Structures are given as structure tokens and as C-alpha cells.
Structure 1
Amino acid sequence: MMKILQITAYYPPSLGGIQTFVQRLSQYLAERGHQVDVLTVNTDHAPAQEAGTSGIRITRTPLDLNLYRAVFSRSFAQKLMSASGYDVYHIHIPFHVGLETAVLAARRNRTPLVATHHGQGLRGSLLYTMMAHTYSWFSQNISLRGVDVPVFLTPSYAHSLNLPAVVQQRMQIVRTGAEVQQFSAGGMGTAIRQTYNIPASDPLILFVGYLGKSNRYKGIDYLLKAFVSVRQQSANARLLIVGGGDWLPELQTLAERLEIADQVIFAGPVENGRLPDYYAAADLFVLPSISGPENSPVVLFEAMASAKPVVATTIPGVVDIVKHEETGLLVPPKDVPQLAAAITRIVQDKDFRQRAGRYARQHTEQYTWKHCAQQMEQIYQARAMNKPMVGTLS
């Protein structure tokens, strides 16, 4: 048994891909007999201390500052610096200043440090974007040198970063996981269609994701513009957008200006346990990201496990997951006409839609949380062999 500290800026009940990744990984590691603690920042007024499933212990520290979802907490830094007796630290980035704090804590407490890089998609004002790019350069070229094992989720994403040679020599690729059984079992799609008054014969296009202004790189505005053309070819098509955030009012206004508000449903945030129903209701899933890189979006695996074809963009990370003309279609980012054409093709071509959906489900069978946890476990053991298993998070 190992004693593992998972370090993350966000954790459920906060919703998002990183949150899901850390939670599922922690659960599977705990089920394999390891003691897993989670140290995070309290962004959702959740309990400061919580005993999660499978014996996971969660510590949430008070939030001092949230700047475009880059969170800062003095108490977090203090607790991390005093977190002794662990066999391994595992930090999930991007986590502004959190990575640097983890490097210092690992040195102070002589604890191996693993870092999984989930992406770098945050966007904001011009000033913030410049600051974020500066920090990204620093973290990738300086901070990651202090990490024992940098982990990336897709090869194309790792190669897109132009990492220093010393980081490339240490890095490992670990494919993200998905609750394949949960989604492949099918959900209550009929109930979702009834809830939103969508006839069974109407093509339903789905997007799932956080709709914060910091996530403008998700490209939902381009999806709305493309949907105008889709409606011209398939008048009964509907667009269902799942997710909440401070970008939502602006997107709703755009839908009204494009005169598609009656055909676009903004469902708001949905709990993870209900997502299989939404995927089951849809005919296809769209991820129109314009930059990132996205790395390895969990929603892609969820959609594909649900046997839904995917329309996505040719950005690093995504191109390793979606197989063009097999599990879906890939289009250039920001290309509204091609995005619309790809969606329209899947909507109108039932044979291709069903075939791509079957291939998508088969493709996800190799991407399970169990397999992901086993790979991480091997990395931990290689770095933490013969480490003492005493101490706690104080």
C-alpha cells in the first residue's frame, strides 16, 4: 500500500474534466488498497474536511483569490509545505503557483513528485492572456524541471509544447480514462427529449462543458454560428448545450441575435450522474475548440462510449482521440462552414452516423479508469519504492 497525495486546484462538487479525472483516479487507487488524500482549494463552499468514497480524505482550503479560474490560497500552500510522510505527490496542472509550491514541498519533504498536464486553455483579457502565456512558458521550461515524472495524456499535446530535453526524457504518456460501462450501458435519452419537448425524429446535437469566459477557447460561439447553416439544411435540428458559467448570458444573447434561440437549449450545469441520459438523447456530439491544446477531454470519451459520433477540431490532443472518417469528423478550428458541413453530414447520413457511433464505442474500450489507475500506480511505485508510509496531511 502507498500513501498518495493528489493535489488539484479544483475538485468536485466543482464540475470539469480535471475534477472528474482526479476523482475517478483517486477512487480507483483507493479501491486498489492505497491511502489517497486530496488537497484542493474550496471554490464551491463545500466542507473543509470530507471523507469521500473508498476512504478518500479530502481537504479544502479557503479561497483567497480567483483570477480567471486561476485560484490562490495561502492556507493551501501552508498545508502542502507541511504534508509529510507521503510516498508520492501527484499534482494536476495547470495550477498557477500550485506547481511551484508542490516542487518546493517535494524537495522539503523529500517526496517524489508526479505532475499530470491537463491543458492550458485559459483565456481572458489581453493583459491576462499575456500573463498566462508568460506563466505557461515559465512552468513548462523551469518548473517542470523540478518534477520527477511529468505525465501527459496524449502524444500530440506533449509534442506541441516544445518542452526542454530534460523534461521530455522524464515524461510518460498515460491515457485518460472514462466510465465506459456507465455510458455504454445507455441512459434515459427518451426522458431528456421529453423534458425539453424534442421529438424523437428531430436530430439533436450535443455539447457538454463549462461555459465560463475563461473557456472561450471551447468555441461555442463558432458552434452557434455553424448551427445557423445546419438549420438551413435540416430545419428540425436542435442544439442542446449542457454547462453553466459566466459566459452563458453572452452566448444566449448571440443565439437570439442569430435568430436560433428557439432551437438552442441551454440546459445549465448537470451532475455527472445524469450525463449518460443527455448523451443517450443526442445523435452526435460536438467539441468545437479553437485552441488549447485541449489535451484529452473527458467529454470525448463519454460521448464515444455512448456510441455517439463526434465532430471536433484538429488541435493537439483531440487528433489523438477522434479518428477522422471512423469515429467522427475533424475540421479546422474557427472554420464555421466546415464545422457546419461536418455536423450536417452526420445529421443527414444515418448509415455513417450509426457506423461511426459503433466504432467510437469500440475505440473507448481501451480507455478505462482502471487502466489509467494501473498505469499511474506503476509510475508511483517506480518513484516511491521502499518509501515509509507514515505521516499525514496537517
Structure 2
Amino acid sequence: MKIAHLVSTFPPYHGGIGNIAYHYARELALLGHEIEVFTPNYDEGARALDRENRFKVHRLGPWLKYGNAALVPQLLWKLSSFDIVHLHYPFFGGAEWTLFLPWIFVKPPRIILSYHMDVIGDGVIKLFFKGYAKTVLPVLINQSSAILSATQDYSDSSAISRYMTRKPVKVIPYGVSNLFQPKERNEKLAGRLNLSSSDSVILFVGGLDRAHYFKGVNLLIEAVAKLKRPGIKLLIVGNGDLIPVYRDQVRKREMQNQVAFITGVTDQELPDYYNLADMTILPSINRSEAFGLVLLEAMACGKPVIGSSLPGVRAVIEDRKNGLLFQPGDSEDLKEKIQFILDHRETGERYGLSGFKKVEEHFRWTPIVGQVEKAYQEVIAKQPA
């Protein structure tokens, strides 16, 4: 099959949706399909990386852009020859152009929509997102031949739940790369980060830009500040324009010797950070967090995880089996969960082993993308001759 993936962000930008689209494209190309990715061009240096892929990446110059939204009408005349167009929602400025495909092509491609997350925001942006969800989203869903979601829990409580009676959702989880495995502590990295063997290391990995405001980094800093015990080190790994804001919070809390911000970490380097840590935490504050790939990465390295009790995240973390859930937005509850792992090392190790087994059984990319391929085949089989 000839398949196009439309996605608002793509590596080297660090974000869950782009990461997922990358692994879909990579695995589908390995299965012999002709894959092309269409994404806005935010980084001129990214084109050099694209030559390493087994699939084509088209980085489109946006006519207008705001955050991760980009107006790319040139999509219209680039999608005529595909069997499947896989739209990764949300993609403001890109998704809307798929609505015109049935009007301009005699045999339009079939649309698959992956619903990654509800978009919330604040102020005027919040009003825009609400209006979009009530007007454009229903039309996008109606034109799609299949809707994919990572968890039933999230789709049942999301903006698409009201449309599920007429357009059932196919649940296919996201996965984790085989790069992420348990391994020995990287002592060279530990030395570079000034970590001693007696330090307790808490890890956060995620976007630190305004598009990822919901990750709850400020909440995590507050929770760690409340621990009041020596030897705690918080590693915050990621890139983005909110780093100065978080640094200021750390300075005001006088935690400069406790918290390290680490930027520019590659996917190949990330497993060393997970394996250094005693736990990984995803402290997201609202349902813009729909899954939590970093939790899978930590679990794949055999580490216990702590996450907000949000739809989607609950499908990854089984409370008191492979990690702990805490009340979203509650820094005191998060502090207590961190304290529990620190005080019960054997239990934490048991959570880590359980998480590793769960990843191996359910969350590796190759079998997951096999399910995506099957969804495509079912859609093509239903297409009129």
C-alpha cells in the first residue's frame, strides 16, 4: 500500500505524537509499504536526518504558524496517489485540508484518524479549541474510514466519545522501541551529572515548551521540594522555552544543587538516563496527557513509574503493580508516592520487573504496527471496486 502520514510535529522535535508517527512509518516501511510523511518544516537542520529513513519525509513550509499549529494548504495537491491517508489528530492547519479530498479526486484516499488527545488550553485559545471540537472535529470523524485510539479509557471520556455510536473506535496501544532495555548504570554519565552511588535519582523526560505546559514540571519541582531529605536529585530531561520559568522556580526554592536540566539528549542516549534513575515520574495536570510514552520507556528499562491518575495514563500504570498513581495536580500526594518508593526499595524493584514484563508482552512496536497494518487492510477491503 501507498500510505501518507500527516502529523503536526516530527523528529527531531521531541514530542509523543511525532514519535508515534515516526515508528508507524518506520515499521510499515519495513513491512514493504511505500510510506511518506507530511509535516510542517520547523527546523531546517531536520532534512539531513530524513535521509537516514526508509521512508520519505516532506517538510512543508507553513503559510502561517502558531505553536505547533501550521497552515499547510499545499497538502491538497500532494495526496492524490495514496491508498491511505493517516491523519494524526490534532493537526491544526493541516487536518482541515483532508476534508476537500473527496471533492477534488475521483478516487480519494481512505482516511484513517488517530485521535491522540483532547486539546484544552487557556483563555481565547481554549474557546477556539472548544469551537473546533464542536464544528470541525465531527466532520473529520465522519469522513474517516476508521478511528484509532491508544486506550478505551481515554476514548470513552474524550471529545470523540459522543460520536462512537456511529463510528466505533479501534483501540491500538502505542509502543516502545527496542532501544529501551535494562542495562548497567553508566558511571561516566553519573559522574558528568555529579551523582553519587548513594543519591536517589528522580527522572522526568518530556517537552519543556509551551505546547507541553500540561506536563506538570512545576508540580514535580514542588513535590520534590517538600521531601526534605538529603541525597535527592531530580533530573529534568527535555527542550523548550519554559526552561527559564522552571529554573526560576528552582532558584526561588533554593534547589539549584538538587535539580539538573539536561537538554539535547538523543533517543540513543535516553536509555542511560532511565537506567540511572530510581523512578520516572509523569506529573501531567490534565487530559491533554493521553498516554505517556515516557512511562513505557522507563518500564522497558525495568524502572518503577509514578503518574497522574488520568484516562490513558491508567492504561499504562496499574496502581501498586508496576507503579503508583497520584491525584492530578496534588503535589502533596505526589510527594507521598515518591516517598513510598524511596522507603520501599524492594517494592519499587518489584514494580519495575512487573512493568518490564508488561512492555514485553504488550507494548513493543513491531506487533503493534502489525495491528495498524491490519486496520488499513480492513479499510481497503471495504472500499467499493
TM-score after normalising by structure 1: 0.91
Contact 1:10 1:40 (8 Å CA) reproduced? yes
Shift of 1:64: 3.0
Shift of 1:166: 5.2
Identity fraction in percent = 27
Taking the aligned partners of 1:386 and 1:161, their CA distance within structure 2 comes to 27
Q: Indicate the structure whose relative CO is greater, using CA pairs within 8 Å and at least 6 residues apart.
A: 1
- Indicate the residue corresponding to 1:190 in structure 2: 187
Shift of 1:188: 5.0
Shift of 1:137: 3.3
For residues 335 and 47 of structure 1, do their structure 2 counterparts lie closer, same or farther at Cα, with a shift above 3 Å needed? closer
For residues 387 and 140 of structure 1, do their structure 2 counterparts lie closer, same or farther at Cα, with a shift above 3 Å needed? closer
Q: Deviations over 1:61-87 (max 9, x none)?
A: 1133332322223xxx22344422211
Shift of 1:59: 0.8
- Indicate the residue corresponding to 1:370 in structure 2: 366
Which of 100, 103, 106 is 2:99 aligned to? 103
User: Are residue 5 (structure 1) and residue 14 (structure 2) matched?
Assistant: no
- Indicate the residue corresponding to 1:204 in structure 2: 201
For residues 169 and 63 of structure 1, do their structure 2 counterparts lie closer, same or farther at Cα, with a shift above 3 Å needed? closer
For residues 256 and 370 of structure 1, do their structure 2 counterparts lie closer, same or farther at Cα, with a shift above 3 Å needed? same
Shift of 1:201: 1.3
* Matched position secondary structure for 1:114: strand
- Indicate the residue corresponding to 1:243 in structure 2: 238
- Indicate the residue corresponding to 1:160 in structure 2: 157
- Indicate the residue corresponding to 1:65 in structure 2: 64
* Matched position secondary structure for 1:85: coil
Matches within 5 A, 1:114-133: 114-121=112-119, 123=121, 125-133=122-130
- When the two chains are superposed, the root-mean-square deviation of aligned CA atoms in Å is 2.1
For residues 138 and 297 of structure 1, do their structure 2 counterparts lie closer, same or farther at Cα, with a shift above 3 Å needed? farther
- Indicate the residue corresponding to 1:391 in structure 2: none
Taking the aligned partners of 1:260 and 1:49, their CA distance within structure 2 comes to 39
Contact 2:119 2:129 (8 Å CA) reproduced? no
* Matched position secondary structure for 1:129: helix
Contact 2:238 2:264 (8 Å CA) reproduced? yes
For residues 36 and 197 of structure 1, do their structure 2 counterparts lie closer, same or farther at Cα, with a shift above 3 Å needed? same
* Matched position secondary structure for 2:226: helix
Shifted more, 285-294 versus 199-208: the winner is: 285-294
User: Are residue 84 (structure 1) and residue 80 (structure 2) matched?
Assistant: yes
- Indicate the residue corresponding to 1:269 in structure 2: 264
Contact 1:27 1:53 (8 Å CA) reproduced? no
Q: Deviations over 1:209-266 (max 9, x none)?
A: 0001222211111111101112x1x311110000111111001001111121220001
Shift of 1:165: 3.6
Taking the aligned partners of 1:51 and 1:287, their CA distance within structure 2 comes to 30
Taking the aligned partners of 1:324 and 1:386, their CA distance within structure 2 comes to 40
Taking the aligned partners of 2:244 and 2:53, their CA distance within structure 1 comes to 39
For structure 1, which runs of at least 5 residues remain unmatched after alignment?
A: 389-394
Taking the aligned partners of 1:165 and 1:128, their CA distance within structure 2 comes to 24
User: Are residue 219 (structure 1) and residue 216 (structure 2) matched?
Assistant: yes
* Matched position secondary structure for 2:180: helix
* Matched position secondary structure for 2:257: helix
Taking the aligned partners of 2:334 and 2:306, their CA distance within structure 1 comes to 8
Shifted more, 128-137 versus 9-18: the winner is: 128-137
For residues 293 and 9 of structure 1, do their structure 2 counterparts lie closer, same or farther at Cα, with a shift above 3 Å needed? closer
Matches within 5 A, 1:171-182: 171-179=169-177, 181-182=178-179
AA in 2 matched with 1:283: D
User: Are residue 112 (structure 1) and residue 110 (structure 2) matched?
Assistant: yes
TM-score after normalising by structure 2: 0.93
AA in 2 matched with 1:113: I
For structure 2, which runs of at least 5 residues remain unmatched after alignment?
A: none
User: Are residue 333 (structure 1) and residue 328 (structure 2) matched?
Assistant: yes
AA in 2 matched with 1:153: A
Between the two proteins, the alignment pairs up a number of residues equal to: 380
Taking the aligned partners of 1:183 and 1:19, their CA distance within structure 2 comes to 18
